[in-house]
A and B are shown apart, each in its own frame.
Chain A
Amino acid sequence: MDSPAGPDTTQMTPAGQGSPSADDTQPMRVINVTGKPRTTWKWLIALPAFVFLVWGGAAASGYVIGLDKRQAKQIQMVADASQEQFDLGVEDLLAGRFELARHRFEYVLSLAPDYPGAVELLGRALEALNQPTPTASPIASPTPTETPDYGSFEGMFQSAQAAFNRGDWSTALDILILLRGEDPNYRLAEVNQIMRSGLRNRGMDKLFQGRLEEGIYDLSLAERFGALDSQALSWRRSAEFFIFANSYYGLDWSKASEYLGQICVANIWGACSKYARAAREYGNELLDEEEYCLATFNYEQFFTHLNDDKFAPTATEVAIVCMTATAPSPTPTSTMTPGTITPEGTLTVTSTSSSTFTPSSSVSPTSSATTGGTPTATETPTATSSATRTPTATKTATETPTSTPSP
């Protein structure tokens, strides 16, 4: 049953509308011009839809599968890195490189806290280093704190203040920088105050940890807000002097031993062991120049702070030569005994000679330094290259540094 509105393609042409002839009363088959575009329209929809479906499906499945593979790859990479560092840590432990072993195990545990055996071996490394052994979870887990509110400026400010109050300087500073990036003038005076104190305190913390240049940098940033307090200034000067002295280490043993000797009186940042090594090297240089007594003096400084069984015979020999050179008829029976260093740094060379080598002067500076908490240090370095120094570091809680060595 045909209908004019039906989908068929035959239609009666309406009378008088474009018929070829008015007498022609036969129904006429005409091509429906709307039929072809309808088919094209379908194709125009179907083809892009097909392309979209195929490509979209390919992209989506590629992404999902790739994501899975990436995660698997990352897990594998972490596992490989952990395994490698664990194996190397075992090697280091067996070879007696405890410090390196310790760091490798710590690294492994930072990647995989439950890595089998890592805690135990870290414990052995720490035991060998005479440090407290770790508990089941050696990596310090962060103290739960309130979630920072970054939704508003005030929330950010309060979060920074809270971080500052609990001594988390870095977090406080990070939040304040974020805040400053959003609104440079928001509570400007208070933000500046927290920034200044945070930088100052973080800088001091770094100095106590031995990260000298990093601490100096933080203090320099803090100084942009205003003058530093005398304690911070004093520690910064000391740190700068240490770095200055250390810059000669390995390059100019004479200057290195001279300057490190001055900072050694405060017995901070391992200055004394560096001084000792520098003194020995300088002594070796003097020995090459046949300055036996000066060499002996420097060797004495070395043994004041460090022991070296292998080096002791050489030092003793040089001391004997020195005594021989300075005494008319020496009958030396001297021995240089490592490991028996007296607090005064006395040269343990004995001789029956009437003329014994003694340092030309003796300086007994009083120094003290803390290694954490409230920084305190007093130093009175008046050392000269021919002085015996007696560093006697003590920890005090309330002292304020009053002077720093200067070259």
Chain B
Amino acid sequence: MRSILEKGKLGNISCNTWVLRALALAFGLSTILAGVVFFHLVQDYTIGYTGVGLNPFQEVDQGFDTTPLPNMTPTAVRFLQTPQPWDGKARVTLLVLGIDYRDWEAGASAPRSDSMMLVTIDPITMQAGMISIPRDLWVEIPGFNDNRINTAYMFGEAYRLPGGGPELAVKTVEGLLGVPIQYFAVINFHTFERMIDELGGVDVEVKQRIMISAIGGHQRWLEPGIHHLDGPDTLAYARVRKGAGDDFGRSDRQQQVLLAVLERMVRLDTLPVLISRAPTLYQELSTGVRTNLSLEQMISLALLAVKVPGENIRRGVIGPPNMVGFYTRPDGAKVLGSVPDQIRQLRDLIFTETSAFGPSVSSSPSNGASP
């Protein structure tokens, strides 16, 4: 009887031990498995994060033909300089380019830039600014004579110039405005939508009734007032042209969206969450964003941008009535001619007057002029 009881006890002990051993084994295996996953994640992030931006040399696979255009012989082109590491004090200027989805989708030729915006922040004076450049502006493109400014990106891509389209676009804008541009970010539409969705959408104030049409989606009217828009609707709002001020109203809306993004970051403390997810986002968005900004620089700039008071952000659009003239070329193409001294005034308002190069540094709020 006793032996039976002891046997039973032993049997119980053995059973528990086996269960424990099995659990320990499962735990060990799962730990090792997680370690393997962790290993690959760290390895992938380490490989992917180059420290010098996304695809600084490689072109994003855009699926278009890069055969040089006929009857075009580029001449002198000043090629890219590798951006110096940002010291945290110097003014930073970034050219943001949106890519024309119609070219993108057609895949027939290198895409033209759909929108162009220059964003600048001076960390010493804590002043920021943005200038939108209309895509039909007739300018001198280094090495390619005169043409619409939105073709600069296309030429750079088509001729596979060092630095490609972004670099030629940067050089073109530098020639137009005279300000040094250190960084660029080329964003395709889908990625833009994703970015807005990651923020949980943005709030924009619609000033006049406007119909938006999301790419591949619905159309709807937006009544005047504040609207919370998701990614596709935000893109549609920023791109709509008809009946809402054409290209210039569109540029204004694009700036409005950028400010809404900044507001979103500040108001909801979204930035820490975004930063914690930055490596993942950086990887995910890398297919649709081409930039020479490193992840650290992006984070530093974002942190700096949210600190700039709203009244210290000056913005302007190169547009009528003073800064451009309307022309029709012999081939019937309608383009915008620049009025250099007027554009220079806008440049000075946003860059010169807010520069740390001055007799004394003041970070007091500007008058917030928005010509």
Q: Which residues of A approach B to under 8 Å, CB–CB?
A: 47, 50-51, 54-55, 57-59, 61-63, 65-67, 69-70, 73-74, 77-78, 80-81, 84-85, 88, 97, 99-100, 103-104, 106-107, 173-174, 177-178, 180-182, 184, 188, 192, 195, 199, 211-217, 220-221, 224-225, 240, 243-244, 246-252
Contact = CB atoms under 8 A, between A and B. Distances in A.
B43 A66 contact: yes
Nearest to A70: B47
A225 B74 contact: no
Contact of A73 (B31, B47, B140, B347): B47
B58 interface: yes
A88 B160 contact: yes
B31 A50 contact: yes
Interface in B313-371: 325, 327, 329, 335, 337-341, 344, 347-348, 351-352, 355-361
A216 B344 CA distance: 9
Given A59-B42, A74-B50, A224-B352, A247 B338 contact: yes
Interface of B: 27-28, 31-32, 34-36, 38-50, 56-58, 73-80, 87-90, 123-124, 138, 140, 143, 145-146, 159-160, 162, 174-180, 325, 327, 329, 335, 337-341, 344, 347-348, 351-352, 355-361
Given A80-B58, A180-B89, A251-B138, 14 more contacts: A54-B31, A55-B31, A59-B38, A65-B46, A69-B43, A70-B50, A73-B50, A78-B57, A97-B73, A99-B143, A213-B176, A224-B352, A224-B357, A224-B358
A252 to B, nearest CB: 7
Contact of B57 (A80, A181, A246, A249): A80
11 contacts: A55-B35, A66-B43, A66-B44, A66-B45, A69-B46, A70-B49, A103-B77, A217-B347, A221-B352, A224-B357, A251-B138
Contacts of A77: 56-58
Given A55-B34, A216-B344, A66 B357 contact: no
A244 B358 contact: no
A55 B31 CA distance: 8
Nearest to B32: A54
B46 A67 contact: yes
- Of A97, A195, A215, A221, chain B has the most CB atoms within 10 Å of the CB of A221
A107 B162 contact: yes
Contacts of A104: 162
B76 A99 contact: yes
Contacts of A224: 352, 355, 357-359
A80 B79 CA distance: 17
A103 B76 contact: yes
A184 B73 CA distance: 49
Contact of A178 (B47, B87, B339): B87
Contacts of A173: 357
